[in-house]
Amino acid sequence: MSDADSFETPSPDGGDGRDQGKGWFARLREGLSKSSRRLVDGISSLFTKRKLDSATLEELEELLITADLGVTTAAKLTQNLARDKFDKEVTGDEVREAFAADIAAILDPVARPLTIDATQKPFVILMVGVNGSGKTTTIGKLAKRFRAEGRSVMLAAGDTFRAAAIEQLRAWGERVGAPVVEKPHGTEAAALAFDALTRAKAEGTDVLLIDTAGRLQNKSLLMDELAKVVRVLKKQDPEAPHATVLVLDGTVGQNAHSQLKVFKEMVDVTGLVVTKLDGSARGGVVVALAETFGLPVHAVGVGESADDLRPFEARQYARSLMGLEG
Amino acid sequence: MFDGLSERLGSVFDKLRKRGALSESDVDAALREVRVALLEADVALPVVKQFIEKVRVRAVGSEVIKSVTPGQMVVKIVNDTLVETLGSDSQKVSVSATAPVPILMVGLQGGGKTTTTAKLAKRIAEKERKKVLMASLDVTRPAAREQLKMLGEQVGVDTLPIVPNESALTIAKRAMTVGRLQGYDVVFLDTAGRTSIDEALMSEVRAIRDQVKPHETLLVADALTGQDAVTTATNFDERVGLTGIVLTRIDGDSRGGAALSMRAITGKPIKALGVGEKVDEIEDFHPDRLANRILGMGDVVSLVERAAETIKEDEAERMAARMAKGQFTLDDMATQLRQMRQLGGLGGILGMLPGVGKIQKALAGANVDEKMFSRQEAIITSMTKAERKNPQVMNASRKRRVASGSGTQVQDINRLLKQHMEMSKMMKKVGKMGGGKAMMGMMGGGMPPGGPGGGGLPGGMGGLPGGGLPGMGGGGLPPGLPPGFPGKRK
Ligand SMILES: Nc1nc2c(ncn2[C@@H]2O[C@H](COP(=O)(O)OP(=O)(O)OP(=O)(O)O)[C@@H](O)[C@H]2O)c(=O)[nH]1
Ligand SMILES: [Mg+2]
């Protein structure tokens, strides 16, 4: 496992001690189960054992919608269920199992860890997304993971716009033991990225993580600026960035479709990370995104500390979304 | 994927381009599409359900105005109901209390609290000439306090000096002490983002609230939020108690359904909108604009409005002619009730007339039950066409049916029928007295001769019948009110 390691490998030190004795799955469930509790309650109260009629199907469809799966995906899942079970006696558990299986089937092809190609030195990862989605924090978490895997990591403070964004990344660099490339506030982001790549090359760094300022996808000037960052990186290394990760806030609704579509067009997003799944939101829009775009989902964020990043696993995500045990 | 509503409605209604009142099936077909549109706009499901019900009651039986399709008519009703639900008055962040006035900013991680704090502080410092202090209580996120400090320098508003290793509660206390000692008018407390199910962090913010007793507690929420808007808003409201909502990133291309969800669930006003990353990109909230955005059918709405403009002439004439003949059916009564309500109820109508401030005040004292209008409309729409034309057929069993259909009591039906009778008697008298258009003009003002005004109701909508408004017990009228004007609630 030298050329294609993934951060999914459990870190040897077991994190900062907070989650010792608890498997990663238990922690993922802890995060996700809170978010799915209401959905589960809903489905269970719908059935003790009753006939799956069209009124019940409608209620089930609505429950999926409340998890942000979107009208289309919710309808599709409910129709699937109806095909097999219509007019039959079903329990809430059976329905949850059936939904979980279908959702897992949708998610399975996109559950792909962010793999580092060690022949690329540095392996350049560009983090993009709308404001406040969790880019900088996710960089901190990824950096910690890569460090734990024994890689050298460099961070580039490419958010030269937001107040104290540089200081924020600097704090993460100190925390995880990674140097931070920075330039004064207001510097052009592309110039910073270019310099960071030069330096990472010179120092033989394994992974370069580039932070960018949050931007709404409908601001074309800001999106052009991001495209320029990519262009400038390609001047030095035509393959760079080797991964472009869109960080999605788990509370986001149907706007996620537009985010992914535009960011993909502009900077060729290669994968997603979904954050804040430790809250009450369920991140169900990911299911719809998987159907529409089929882009890899690498990981989920389940908290604010360095260890709160989990691999995205289709079956577990689906079952957790439906409130089912591993 | 959001552009579907026009098309969907178009195809539903191409089949039924007929005139007259909206039938139940028209409305149901349209509302199925509206429901999907709202869900795709991220309006939370429970809110969508409530909302659709409200629209259904209003729409069934509504007259489709000339040159407008039933679908367009439904869209207009949906739009008006949206505007109403979003809150018709634009309320601002209040700083009128004893200085230093504490304002607590709360919300999820990454919602935009810090930027919003700086924007509001700047606006209040500049527009209201207040001395403002900002303090960051965010000891969780790296460099959060530095962020607020930098923003403070940028907008020229003071920030509380950073002292390392203080708890959020300690910083809050210190901020209020500094606020008092150094003569600040307003103190903004920017808290760390927290998920609404994190019990420890929610009780922390409660402790801060108990300590500083904020004048405003504002939930800062992202306009890109999905169905979770309801959970977040409910939890923050229940556990911390909100006085208002600020919606950020409205400059994005989300439909912004979260605004409707949060407003409808908490009943708390939306007090400002963040419309950009720069420190002066903050705006007052306008319900009509947001409604337009959620529904995405502004063109249809204005089309219906224009059609309504051109129609008012015909309408007035038709009504006048009918009155002259002494005809006043329950349908006419329903039309008037609806018009009243659409114009913002009795208070709204009077508000539009010049020089009626005094009457309005008297009326407020008279405690008119405005809900009565919708209830009575519901009764009339629950009756069959024949019953509406000829109310005499209403026997006990029909009354029971109508009562259960409209969610009212049999005595409500009796009251309505009696009022209708009195009104049509009055109509006859009025018709004989003068009749014609001149009379309509006068009636349009809703005031008998000698009443204040002559302003006339906008839209010439047939006006209020001079002979007593429906739904009112009569008696005990404030002086100066026309005869038969609404009296006190029973
Ligand atoms: N609860 C929780 N909070 C998170 C998670 N990921 C990030 N956050 C928090 O979300 C907030 C925003 O995160 P940032 O990493 O600053 O987001 P960003 O995308 O870099 O933001 P901008 O650079 O301002 O666009 C911070 O308060 C983070 O601590 C997560 O998985 N769970
Ligand atoms: Mg950032």
Going along chain B from its start, the domains and CATH numbers come out as 4-86 (1.20.120.140), 101-293 (3.40.50.300), 312-444 (1.10.260.30)
Residue B449, class by beta-carbon neighbours within 10 Å (0-12 exposed, 13-18 middle, 19+ buried)? Answer: exposed
**Least CB–CB distance from B110: residue in A71, A133, A167:** A133
Among the atoms of ligand 1, which is closest to the Cα of residue A247?
19
| 8 Å CB contact between A150 and A156 | no
| 8 Å CB contact between B159 and B135 | yes
Between the CA atoms of B488, B334, B380 and B481, what dihedral angle is there, to the nearest 10 degrees?
10
The DSSP call for residue A319 is H
CATH number given to A24-109:
1.20.120.140
- According to CATH, the superfamily of the domain at A113-312 is P-loop containing nucleotide triphosphate hydrolases (3.40.50.300)
Task: Give the per-residue pLDDT at B451.
Answer: 31
Lowest mean pLDDT of A215-229, B132-146, B320-334, B368-382, name the range. Answer: B320-334
**Least CB–CB distance from A280: residue in B41, B42, B232:** B232
- Average confidence score pLDDT of chain B: 78
From the CB of residue A54, how many other CB atoms can be counted at a distance below 10 Å?
A: 11
Residues with Cβ within 8 Å of B240's Cβ and at least 6 positions away in sequence, in order, are B104, B106, B202, B205, B206, B209, B217
A318: Cα separation from own chain's centroid: 15
Task: Give the per-residue pLDDT at A26.
Answer: 54
**What confidence tens digit (pLDDT) does each residue in B29-71 have?**
888 888 888 888 899 999 999 999 999 998 888 877 777 777 7
**Is the alpha carbon torsion for B85, B89, B94, B97 positive or negative?**
negative
Domain-wise residue ranges, chain A: 24-109, 113-312
For the entire predicted model, the pTM comes to 0.74
Among the atoms of ligand 1, which is closest to the Cα of residue A132?
21
Instruction: Give B255 to chain A, closest Cα distance, Å.
Output: 8
pLDDT band of B440, cuts 50, 70, 90 = very low
Residue A130: closest CA among B270, B222, B260: B222
| 8 Å CB contact between A43 and A92 | yes
What are phi and psi for residue B247, nearest 5 degrees? Answer: -105, 125
Calculate the alpha carbon distances from B186 to B67, B129, B208, B474 in Å.
54, 11, 16, 49
Using a CB-CB cut-off of 8 Å, the residues of chain A touching B39 are 65, 71
Residues with Cβ within 8 Å of B396's Cβ and at least 6 positions away in sequence, in order, are B410
User: Which residue in A280, A287, A293, A304 has the most chain B C-beta atoms within 10 A of its own C-beta, making it the best mutation to test that interface?
Assistant: A280
Phi-psi region of A29 (alpha: psi -120 to 50; beta: other; left: phi over 0): alpha
The encoded tokens of residue B379 equal: 């009764």
Task: Give the per-residue pLDDT at B6.
Answer: 58
Among the atoms of ligand 1, which is closest to the Cα of residue A300?
31
**Least CB–CB distance from A253: residue in B109, B151, B225:** B225
Residue B102: closest CA among B183, B191, B209, B202: B209
Stronger pLDDT, B116 or B477, i.e. the higher one: B116
B304: Cα separation from own chain's centroid: 20
Task: Give yes or no for a cis peptide into B470 (omega within 30° of 0).
Answer: no
Query: What is the ipTM score, two decimals?
Result: 0.85
Measured between alpha carbons, how far is B186 from B188 in angstroms, rounded to an integer?
7
Instruction: Give B475 to chain A, closest Cα distance, Å.
Output: 50
Measured between alpha carbons, how far is A85 from A91 in angstroms, rounded to an integer?
11
* pLDDT tens-place values along chain A, 326 residues long: 333 333 333 333 333 333 444 554 455 555 555 555 556 666 665 555 678 888 888 888 888 888 899 999 999 999 999 998 888 888 878 888 899 999 999 999 999 999 999 999 999 999 999 999 999 999 999 999 999 999 999 999 999 999 999 999 999 999 999 999 999 999 999 999 999 999 999 999 999 999 999 999 999 999 999 999 999 999 999 999 999 999 999 999 999 999 999 999 999 999 999 999 999 888 999 999 999 999 999 999 999 999 999 999 999 899 877 767 66
User: Which position has the token pair 């030298």?
Assistant: A2
Interface contact A130, partner B, CB < 8 A: yes
| 8 Å CB contact between A167 and B146 | yes
Using a CB-CB cut-off of 8 Å, the residues of chain A touching B219 are none
